[in-house]
Structure 1
């Protein structure tokens, strides 16, 4: 049954990267499998070396110059979704080049295949999230509230089905015009647009953000960026039961090596 489930599903991994080629190659090597295709957007400002795969089909998309928190980040995301959508996958796993898998790839594929109709996207319950997007963006919220009725936000990293990606791409021009120019709108547009279709979409967990997107992210240090995970975080990551973790840094190569070895341990088929 396990192998049957895998053979019936198609998974695309969409990676947005701009630096740290060693980390990116480690991530690609974790994913590398005949059951997976990998799509990578490299920031146009970057001259980093490109990763290689033995088994996965590897696609490099058109490149834009990405500035964190701007509409260029939304544009790069949609480029990845559009490129993969042409080949029709059951799941589109959108991750960062600073991510690593927590589980072996076969475990991850089996997990998502067992929840084939669910959307894995996080919805934050922080009622004061708007304070972090800047006054210019706050001024635009009433118009968005009027158009979408309910505004939602959360981490931009997610695993979506063909149905959800189709909704995003059909609304591409509205997304760029409505959310373009807003600070960190990449953490607003997917949740807001997809939540409008909550009667037809099934969310894996719309109450717990981390469980909803299945990404281990440590915000304990505060600020606008998550903690760089290191050796001392390994046990908590492994015990989380989640599928992905971010963010890692090449400053902590020992943690990267441990995670790679952990996810490549011998599998029981």
Structure 2
């Protein structure tokens, strides 16, 4: 998999497919290895039982169909999206970045718009979501169209779930969180670096405790940076389960 490439979307679809084949389950939670639950398993299960049938998806801007970020990612063909951060030697990455920009400039000159005839409205948001079995089944049914639409789209992993939800009849099932993000994730973008969320440390323990008012999952954590906060989060949860 490569950052920003379609391979990430393929990986997400494969995860949903494998989980669905072993299901069905009431909910499917898209998480990474850098995520942790902020509550114990009983509280986690109880919440979703209480809100059965809701979709927990965060939209960046649910009302703005002309978001310039969506246009930037989808209008042109991003042929070299897999190579911009692929190599450890930065000057090699820079070569691919240069040719990618040349390709995009040429397409702008030629007025390329690869989604001008699309009958879906593309939406943007977090790829981290909790969705129902109905949602997963419908998403997998749309896989051929997803492939055609997102294969040359930049960072399509942040468009996939929102686009399916908006265009396939799930908007009336959205959960609206009065205390935080609608996907129940607590992610600190205020202190982000290089497009990556802040990695929590033990200094953030009170912040994470407060986050449980509106979130069930938090990211990012790293054993290499601070294992103390991970133990702090996990120990009371393990004790209660």
Q: TM-score range with shorter-chain normalisation? A: 0.7 to 0.9
Q: How far off is 1:238 after superposition?
A: 1.6
Q: State whether structure 2 residue 148 is matched by structure 1 residue 172.
A: no
Q: 1:159 to 1:234 in 2, by over 3 A?
A: same
Question: Are the counterparts in 1 of residues 40 and 240 from structure 2 also a CA contact under 8 Å?
Answer: no
Q: 1:158 to 1:200 in 2, by over 3 A?
A: closer
Q: 1:199 to 1:89 in 2, by over 3 A?
A: closer
2:217 alignment partner in structure 1: 244
Q: State whether structure 2 residue 231 is matched by structure 1 residue 261.
A: no
Q: 1:172 to 1:188 in 2, by over 3 A?
A: same
Partner Cα separation in structure 1 for residue 231 and residue 170 of structure 2? 43
Q: State whether structure 2 residue 3 is matched by structure 1 residue 68.
A: yes
Which sections of structure 2, spanning at least 5 residues, go unmatched? 79-103
Mapping of 1:187-226 within 5 angstroms? 187-198=158-169, 201-205=172-176, 210-222=180-192, 223-226=194-197
Question: Are the counterparts in 2 of residues 216 and 244 from structure 1 also a CA contact under 8 Å?
Answer: yes
Question: Are the counterparts in 2 of residues 119 and 201 from structure 1 also a CA contact under 8 Å?
Answer: no
Q: How far off is 1:186 after superposition?
A: 0.3
Partner Cα separation in structure 2 for residue 226 and residue 90 of structure 1? 29
After TM superposition, the structure 1 stretch with the greater mean CA deviation from structure 2, 68-77 or 134-143, is 134-143
2:88 alignment partner in structure 1: none
Q: State whether structure 2 residue 51 is matched by structure 1 residue 80.
A: no
Larger strand proportion, structure 1 or 2? Answer: 1
Partner Cα separation in structure 2 for residue 187 and residue 234 of structure 1? 28
Question: Are the counterparts in 2 of residues 121 and 212 from structure 1 also a CA contact under 8 Å?
Answer: yes
1:233 alignment partner in structure 2: 204
Which sections of structure 1, spanning at least 5 residues, go unmatched? 1-65
1:11 alignment partner in structure 2: none
Q: State whether structure 2 residue 75 is matched by structure 1 residue 105.
A: no
Q: State whether structure 2 residue 96 is matched by structure 1 residue 160.
A: no
1:219-260 CA-to-partner distances (Å, cap 9, x unmatched) read 012441111111122211221121100011111100111010
Partner Cα separation in structure 2 for residue 186 and residue 151 of structure 1? 12
Mapping of 1:7-22 within 5 angstroms? none
Q: How far off is 1:151 after superposition?
A: 1.8
After TM superposition, the structure 1 stretch with the greater mean CA deviation from structure 2, 245-254 or 120-129, is 120-129
- TM-score under structure 2 normalisation? 0.74
Q: Counterpart of 1:113 in 2: which secondary structure? A: helix
- TM-score under structure 1 normalisation? 0.67
Q: How far off is 1:141 after superposition?
A: 9.5
Question: Are the counterparts in 2 of residues 123 and 152 from structure 1 also a CA contact under 8 Å?
Answer: yes
1:121-144 CA-to-partner distances (Å, cap 9, x unmatched) read 110128443487496458799543
Give the paired residue count.
201
CA RMSD of aligned residues (A): 2.7
Partner Cα separation in structure 1 for residue 119 and residue 46 of structure 2? 35
Q: Counterpart of 1:264 in 2: which secondary structure? A: helix
- Higher RCO structure (Cα 8 Å, ≥6 apart): 2
